[in-house]
Structure 1
C-alpha cells in the first residue's frame, strides 16, 4: 500500500498513473487505499488548475502593463493575448468554480509583481504603474479597432 507521500509524489508527477493505480485498487476491493490515492489526485489536479490560473493572470497583467506603459507600441497581438488570457481564465473558472474572484484577489499582488517584472524585461524599461484594478484587468476594452468597429461577443 503506497504511503501518503508516495501518493502525493505519484499524483504530482502523473495524474494518469495515479488514476490507473486507484482504478486497480478499486478492482481489488481496496477502497480505503484507493481513497487515499484519490485524495492525492484531487489535490494535485487542483494545484495544477491554480497554477494555470496564476500563469494566465500574470500573462494578462503583463500585456496590460505593456499596453499602458508603451502606447506607441500597441499591437493587435497584444490585444489578442489580452483577450485570449481572459478567455483561458474564464474556462478555468468554469472547470473549477473555486477559482473565483476571491481566489484571484488572494493572488493578485503576487501576480502583479511577477507581471511587472516580465513586462519590464520585455519593454527594456521601467514602468511607473503602481497597480492594476479589477476593471483594468477584466473589464476594460483593449483593441486597436475604433469604438464603432466593435466585434460581436457572441
Structure 2
C-alpha cells in the first residue's frame, strides 16, 4: 500500500513533470529520502542512460555516413566537400563532448562501431541513390582516426560514385 506522500509524488509526476523533478531534487538535497518517489526516479535515471547510448550511436552513424560520402561520392564531392567536412567536424565535436561527459561510453562505441559503420553505408547509399557496394565494406579507419579532427579518408578515385 502506498503512503499518501508516495501517491502525491506519483500524481505530481503524471501531472507536472518539471515540478516533480524540482520537488525530487529538493527532497534529495534535504535528505528527505523517504519522501522521494523512487520508482519514477529510477525509471528516469535508466531512461537517461538509454538516451545517452542512443545519442552517441546516432552521432557515430552520421559521422561515418559523411566520411563515406566524402570518400566515395565522386559526382557530389566537389560542390559538397565544404559542407560535408563541416558536418564531420560537428559530429566529431558532439561525440567528443559526450565522451568527455561520460567516459564510460567509450567501450560502448567500440562495441557498436562495426554495426554503426554498416548502418552508415546503408544511409550513404540511400541518400546518394548509389549502390551500397559503392561504399567500402571495410572500415575507413580506426575509431581514433574517425574521431581525429584533422583526419579525413583518402579520396577514392575509382569513379564508382558517378551516376550513369
The aligned counterpart of 1:110 is: 115
1:138 lines up with 2:143 in the alignment: no
Cα RMSD, aligned residues only: 3.1
Q: Name whichever of 16-25 and 124-133 sits farther off.
A: 16-25
Aligned to 2:136: 129
Q: Please, what TM-score do these two structures have when normalized by structure 1?
A: 0.70
The question of whether the paired residues in 1 share the 8 Å contact of 2:121 and 2:135 is answered with: no
Distance 2:97 2:135 in 1: 32
Larger deviation: 128-137 or 88-97?
128-137
Q: Separation in 2 of the partners of 1:77 and 1:43?
A: 36
Larger radius of gyration: 2
Mean CA deviation greater in 113-122 or 80-89? 113-122
Q: Partner of 1:46 in structure 2?
A: 49
* 1:35–1:41 distance in 2 versus 1, CA, 3 Å: same
Aligned-residue offset at 1:117: 1.1
Q: CA deviation at 1:115?
A: 0.9
Specify which structure has the bigger relative contact order, considering alpha-carbon pairs within 8 angstroms and separated by 6 or more residues. Answer: 2
Task: Classify the secondary structure of the residue corresponding to 2:103.
Answer: coil
* 8 Å contact from structure 1 (residues 65, 119) kept in 2: yes
Cα distance, 1:99–1:122 mapped onto 2, change above 3 Å: same
Structure 1 counterpart of 2:100, from 94, 97, 106: 94
**Counterpart of 1:131 in 2: which secondary structure?**
coil
Gaps of 5+ in 2: 1-5, 154-164
In the other structure, the counterpart of 2:24 is: 22
Aligned length: 134
Cα distance in 1 for residues equivalent to 2:31 and 2:105 = 35
